Amino acid sequence: MALVKLIEYADASPEVRSVYDDIMKTRAVDWINNFWKALANDPRELARIWQNVKQVMAPGALDPLVKEMVYVAVSATNGCEYCTFSHTAAARNKGMTDAMLMELMAVVGLANETNRLANGLRVDVDKQFKP
């Protein structure tokens, strides 16, 4: 149960529906997931976040599957259940196999481990790593 009501398409204002329509068209799906229905309580916020997702996750210097896997890596690191489920599903739609997911998690786990070893022992950055 979310902290705000979920705005269904049938109950949405034209401003919200316009964003919902763009989400469904861009992603070639016929439903709206709960994240957007929650944000729709503030139509400007809904539009802002969607514009950001649309721009940042588009193909560019990195391919979309790599971007989705980075999203999963960050979500797993932060312990966000919703984002881990939703972006793992998105990454699978873009071609991520179970073998790739397991290997991604191995990197995420290792990075979280060595981050704490470096921070816990307060290791100084080598000058060779400075750009």
Contacts of 104 (CB under 8 A, 6+ apart): 69, 72, 73, 96
Q: Segment contacting a copy of itself (CB under 8 A): 9-17, 18-26, 38-46?
A: 38-46
Quick check: 13 binds a copy of itself (CB under 8 A)?
A: no
The sign one gets for the Cα dihedral 94, 98, 104, 105 is positive
Q: Which stretch binds a copy of itself (CB under 8 A): 7-15, 16-24, 81-89?
A: 81-89
Told to check if 30 binds a copy of itself by CB under 8 A, we report no
Among 13, 15, 48, 95, binds a copy of itself (CB under 8 A): 48
Pure H helices in the chain: 14-27, 34-39, 43-56, 64-78, 81-93, 98-120
Enumerate residues 92-111 that contact a copy of itself by CB under 8 A.
Answer: 97-111
